[in-house]
Structure 1
Amino acid sequence: MSSSPLGRPIVAVKPIVVPAPGRGVDLQVKVTAPLSGEDLPVIVFSHGNAWSLDGYEPLVDRWAAAGFVVVQPTHLDSRRNGIGWEDPRFATIWRVRIADLHAVLDGLGDILRHAGGLEARVDRERVAVVGHSWGAQTAGAILGARVLDADGVPGEDFSHPAVSAGALIAATGTGDTLTPFAAEHLPFMRPDYSTMTTPALVVAGGKDQSQLSTRGPEWFTDAYHLSPSPKALLTIAEGEHTLGGLAGEMAAETTDEDPARVALVADAISAYLLDALKRDGAAWAALGGAAASGDGAWTIART
């Protein structure tokens, strides 16, 4: 048990093994939850490339303090699994990632039971998915986005009926401006957002210049501009790809360390999801008012 950044006691249980036949490596998850409370909504979180269930505590702890149960799987691309760009398994990891989220969503009851009997305290009708970077593309597939093949034909529908809302942080844009490296190693990075109908918040950094695309930071807003409403877009003017250090304050990938920025992302997502899941719209409304009257350091748009 630990105290969250907001002072509300939270508890984390790990690792919990989730059945995933044929995966080759056990699918393990971590569950973080408030120590008290009933009818808690759920966030299933997909990490960025190379991370694991042990990352992103600055986000997860704030979400748990806000009343969410958060489930974090470790995907195959985690550093701890040692599967690099040249590994023949890497080409299909994007599919395994999506399958991981399906396994978590399908096995949510058992996961919650193994996490200290949480199933009695959770509202299974209010489930969301959230992801960062590669995890955002993974979560987007659960929300209804598809992947275009080399001929521009949309692939399978990977959406999951248990999910009512989501949030995509630094989500991959369209695949027409991939760099040669990305086109060779990440050909699946060709999302089609036209079918992503589930309500979602897109979070983008105004200084997020990807090495995977020849476009600028606006590449990370495609999930908002190219998907059907209702959608919302939080743009943080000075934010880079880690948006202040989402994966952890000491993470080497953090290029724009700013705990206040991380808190903004975390709190905006919890506020949006509480509204989208029809629990409480007050915090999201207040955030919109603050953005409208602010200095432009961060803005919110809606469709």
Structure 2
Amino acid sequence: MTVFTVSPVVLDIPGRPVDLQLKVSAPTEGVGLPILLLSHGQGYSNHLSSLNGYAPLANHWAEQGFVVLQPTHLSSRSLNLPDTTPGAPMFWRSRAEDMSHVIDRLDEIEKAVPQLQNRWDRTKIAVVGHSMGGHTASLLLGMRTEGVSLKDDRVKAGVLLGSTGRGDAVTDVVKEHYSFMQDADFSEMTTPALVVAGDADASEHLTTMGPDWHADPFHLAPGPKDLLTLFGAEHGFGGVSGYDVAETTDESPERVAAVQQLTTAYLRGQLLGTTDWQDVATDQGSIESK
């Protein structure tokens, strides 16, 4: 399916240090299109963690009939905000608020992208996040951090890729610089979600628990939840954050294809009720459900 992109769409958010910019990717044909909010992770590159990243996923989902909305969060290296900015360096609360602002401003986005007029279904919204973006997505799905709930009931499903886990298994570096991760509470994360974890994703800079830490959102949250464990996958899942990214430690087009196909099938099932995603065959991983 042919797709188009419009970028940047700029939203003026009162109190935000800079305007919220996002990229819109969508198919050129079709109506009743479901909406995916894609939250970027962090990383060493300047622009992968922004509206310009995650092309292997955003392009694929748009080709498969979704409208993909990618904001640039305040934590992005591309913005290079001063460390003295309130909420720095990770802006965990602002990141989740960005996504709710995007939903609030769909009318404004449609005016900026008139090709979407009368073509998307605003009742069918899901959130997807990778790494720190997974933390953001988890907040929208009902996870609490520092006792704060930012759950958005307009979000009907989520996909968490290499997301953050329990707070008592983080490293000293995380305790010192990202203390909010110590307070993760998954007990009220009731929205349906697919948790994607790599069995080789040790993330030693984040956790002392090893790869199992990234499966915590499945094990510690109430159902309905699904867990996809990808064999041999490290934190980049074969290269989901960009094409030919040097910081991907497990380069694998086959693994990226498995992520594309399985997440698409899951999201279609949750938002459109048109497929049993577990029927999509793959030899790349195992599936558990509750």
Using the TM superposition, name which of 173-182 and 113-122 deviates more: 113-122
Q: 1:35 aligns with which of 25, 28, 50?
A: 28
Q: Which residue of 2 aligns with 1:24?
A: 17
Give the drift of 1:19: 2.6
Q: 1:299 aligns with which of 264, 286, 290?
A: 286
Asked if 1:195 is matched to 2:188, the reply is: yes
CA distance in 2, matches of 1:236, 1:267: 13
Give the drift of 1:226: 0.6
Aligned 1:224-303 pairs, distance under 5 A: 224-282=218-276, 284-287=277-280, 290=281, 294=283, 297-303=284-290
2:243 counterpart SS class: coil
Amino acid at match of 1:15: P
Change over 3 Å in CA distance of 1:158–1:64 after alignment to 2: same
> Given that residues 165 and 273 in structure 1 are in contact (C-alpha distance below 8 angstroms), is that contact kept between their aligned partners in structure 2?
yes
Asked if 1:168 is matched to 2:166, the reply is: no
- TM-score normalised by L of structure 1: 0.89
Any unmatched runs of 5+ in structure 2?
Answer: 44-48
Amino acid at match of 2:20: L
Change over 3 Å in CA distance of 1:85–1:251 after alignment to 2: farther
Amino acid at match of 2:279: A
Q: Which residue of 2 aligns with 1:3?
A: none
CA distance in 2, matches of 1:34, 1:277: 17
- TM-score normalised by L of structure 2: 0.93
Could you report, residue by residue, the CA deviation over 1:218-239 in whole angstroms, capped at 9, with x for unpaired residues?
Answer: 0000000111111001110110
CA distance in 1, matches of 2:198, 2:42: 18
Give the drift of 1:92: 6.3
CA distance in 1, matches of 2:247, 2:85: 22
CA distance in 2, matches of 1:224, 1:45: 20
2:149 counterpart SS class: coil
> Given that residues 90 and 178 in structure 2 are in contact (C-alpha distance below 8 angstroms), is that contact kept between their aligned partners in structure 1?
no
Using the TM superposition, name which of 162-171 and 117-126 deviates more: 117-126
CA distance in 1, matches of 2:196, 2:177: 25
Could you report, residue by residue, the CA deviation over 1:226-253 in whole angstroms, capped at 9, with x for unpaired residues?
Answer: 1111100111011000100111122232
Give the drift of 1:199: 0.4
> Given that residues 66 and 270 in structure 1 are in contact (C-alpha distance below 8 angstroms), is that contact kept between their aligned partners in structure 2?
yes
Amino acid at match of 1:298: G
Give the drift of 1:89: 4.2
Q: Which residue of 1 aligns with 2:46?
A: none
Any unmatched runs of 5+ in structure 1?
Answer: 1-7, 150-154
Q: Which residue of 2 aligns with 1:136?
A: 134
CA distance in 2, matches of 1:92, 1:249: 25
> Given that residues 59 and 263 in structure 1 are in contact (C-alpha distance below 8 angstroms), is that contact kept between their aligned partners in structure 2?
no
Identity %: 46
Change over 3 Å in CA distance of 1:182–1:254 after alignment to 2: same
CA distance in 2, matches of 1:48, 1:225: 22
Aligned residues: 283
Change over 3 Å in CA distance of 1:275–1:117 after alignment to 2: same
Give the drift of 1:85: 6.5
